[in-house]
């Protein structure tokens, strides 16, 4: 539904502090927790900002994840193109969603993801060695955060690492909220062609990686098509490195601006580090434009009637700072006893790759801060280019240096 008058606030909104949701989000949470907002294409979905309401919607089958339904509030032109050309299980409802998700759930089991920890630790050390040799200043995004997460997901999937820049450029086209639809369309076509070709190769030459195992166990048995595996590959490649890479970079920046938290991450034991990582996930919530749904029947949420066919955005960043759920919500508190944040979503669509993301964060933060205890920004904070225009929040680049280096 599109209104005739522009009275709804634009979404996403401008931030006043780079480490906190927009002040308008907090005001809505307190005064109008179910409110209309206007998105990139002129549609006016409902924005849900309170923790209990967000979790209720994300676990309620009356709110559909099917991006093909009328009224679904697609995040960007790029994602609209992707959903249309390559629907994946995150844009499906049960039972189709459950069927597809079960086919790869085992790939993200605790046993299999823990087996990646030595590889992640080794890769982290190698990247830090390279940063040390290079001196300063360096861009932490391109020299550390992105190569770490992209290498891990490429290795997991069985995608050649030399394709990193190709995937990065194309994922940027998909994730740009205000991007060119034509560019996004080309990105979808080229990504699909690349992954389809890779799947075809693994049909002929079996490989012990995620795509290879899915080909053997699902495609060759007729449970999945090659096209579906290619679409799955795009989803995992984009989601598997963009979110964690930006969480790493933004978290480092936050700690450089708040040295007391850097000390916790640098000097703490495993339990303290894990707790600090959870708090950074809650505080920063890089998935800053919400989880999208569309009502399939009339539903009342916090006293407001949402009618069938109306879009809904469940705001994770607002929910993760809801004082009704988190005491002193704007403070990083590693002693927080109840930290059931929704940074990875909630319900049946909760992020499948969160065990890997946690290992990456718990490895990257302390290793970086222990190796470079004198790490600092190489430019003033106001010179940092934040990703407010992207589906995943963070920084486009993060120039850092050590001690007195310039």
Per-residue pLDDT band at 286 (split at 50, 70, 90):
very high
Instruction: Please count the other Cβ atoms lying within 10 Å of the Cβ belonging to residue 204.
Output: 7
pLDDT digits (tens, 9 = 90+) for 318-334: 999 999 999 999 999 98
- Indicate whether 104 pLDDT > 90: no
Tell me: the pLDDT tens digits for 108-128? 888 888 999 999 999 999 999
Which residues make Cβ contacts (< 8 Å) with residue 116, sequence separation at least 6?
A: 152, 156, 356, 359
In whole angstroms, what separates CA 229 from the centre of its chain?
A: 21
Torsion of CA 75, 77, 80, 86, to 10 degrees: -120
Q: Reply yes or no: is the peptide bond before residue 95 cis, omega within 30 of 0.
A: yes
User: Domain for residue 229, yes or no?
Assistant: yes
pLDDT of residue 90: 84
CA distance 281 to 320: 9
128-185 pLDDT, tens digit per residue, is 999 999 987 999 999 999 999 988 988 888 988 777 778 877 887 777 777 677 787 7
- pLDDT score at 100: 84
What span, in angstroms and rounded, lies between the C-alpha atoms of 197 and 192?
Answer: 8
pLDDT of residue 111: 87
Structural domain tally of the chain? 1
pLDDT of residue 389: 83
- Model confidence at 215: pLDDT above 90: yes
Residue 328 lies in a domain: yes
Helix (H) or strand (E) holding 191: helix 181-204
Q: Containing H/E element for 82? A: helix 77-85
Give the lowest-confidence range in 66-70, 76-80, 101-105, 243-247: 76-80
For residue 148, what pLDDT is reported?
Answer: 92
Q: Can you give the residue range of the structural domain that contains 395?
A: 23-402
* pLDDT exceeds 80 at position 404: no
DSSP for 105-144?
A: HGGG-HHHHHTTHHHHHHHHHHHHHHHHHH-SSEEHIIII
18 domain residue, yes or no: no
Tell me the backbone φ, ψ of residue 386, rounded to 5 degrees.
Answer: -85, 155
Q: What is the mean pLDDT of the chain?
A: 90
d(CA 239, CA 353): 9
Region 2-31: what's the mean pLDDT?
A: 86
Res. 7: pLDDT tops 90: no
Alpha carbon distance, N-terminus to C-terminus of the chain: 53
Which CATH number fits the domain that encloses residue 186? 1.10.630.10
| pLDDT value for 4 | 46
Residue 12 resides in a domain: no
Residue 308 near residue 296, CB atoms below 8 Å: yes
In a domain, residue 370? The reply is: yes
Within a domain: 64? yes
Q: Examine the pLDDT at 1 and tell me if it is beyond 50.
A: no
Neighbours of 259 (CB within 10 A): 11
Could you tell me if residue 6 is inside a domain?
no
pLDDT of res. 340: 96
Q: Does residue 10 belong to any structural domain of this protein?
A: no
Q: What is the per-residue pLDDT for 6?
A: 54
Helix (H) or strand (E) holding 51: helix 51-58
pLDDT higher than 60, residue 3: no
């Amino acid at each position: 539904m599109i209104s005739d008058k522009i009275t709804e606030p634009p979404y996403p909104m401008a931030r006043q502090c780079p480490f906190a949701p927009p002040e308008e989000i907090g005001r809505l949470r307190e005064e109008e927790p179910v409110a209309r907002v206007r998105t990139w294409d002129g549609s006016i979905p409902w924005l849900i900002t309170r923790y209990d309401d967000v979790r209720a919607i994300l676990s309620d089958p009356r709110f559909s994840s099917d991006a093909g339904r009328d009224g679904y509030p697609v995040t960007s032109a790029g994602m609209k193109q992707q959903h249309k050309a390559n629907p994946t299980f995150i844009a499906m409802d049960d039972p189709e969603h459950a069927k597809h998700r079960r086919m790869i759930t085992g790939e993200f089991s605790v046993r299999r993801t823990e087996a990646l920890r030595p590889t992640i630790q080794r890769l982290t050390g190698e990247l830090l060695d390279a940063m040390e040799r290079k001196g300063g200043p360096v861009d932490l995004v391109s020299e550390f955060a992105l190569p770490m997460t992209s290498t891990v997901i490429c290795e997991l999937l069985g995608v050649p690492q030399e394709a990193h820049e190709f995937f990065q450029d194309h994922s940027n086209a998909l994730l740009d909220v205000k991007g060119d639809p034509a560019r996004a369309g080309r990105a979808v076509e080229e990504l699909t062609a690349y992954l389809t070709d890779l799947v075809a190769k693994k049909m002929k030459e079996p490989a012990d990686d995620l795509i290879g195992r899915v080909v053997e166990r699902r495609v060759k048995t007729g449970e999945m098509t090659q096209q579906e595996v290619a679409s799955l590959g795009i989803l995992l490649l984009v989601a598997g490195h963009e979110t964690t890479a930006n969480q790493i970079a933004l978290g480092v920046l936050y700690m450089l601006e708040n040295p007391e938290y850097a000390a916790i991450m640098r000097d703490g034991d495993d339990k303290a580090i894990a707790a600090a990582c959870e708090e950074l996930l809650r505080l920063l919530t890089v998935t800053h434009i919400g989880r999208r749904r569309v009502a399939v029947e009339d539903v009342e949420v916090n006293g407001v009637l949402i009618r069938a066919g109306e879009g809904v955005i469940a705001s994770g960043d607002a929910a993760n700072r809801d004082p009704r759920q988190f005491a002193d919500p704007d403070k990083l508190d590693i002693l927080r006893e109840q930290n059931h944040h929704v940074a990875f979503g909630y319900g049946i669509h909760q992020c499948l790759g969160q065990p890997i993301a946690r290992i990456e964060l718990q490895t990257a933060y302390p290793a970086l801060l222990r190796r470079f205890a004198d790490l600092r920004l190489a430019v003033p904070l106001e010179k940092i280019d934040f990703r407010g225009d992207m589906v995943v929040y963070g920084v486009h680049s993060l120039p850092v240096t050590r001690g007195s280096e310039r």
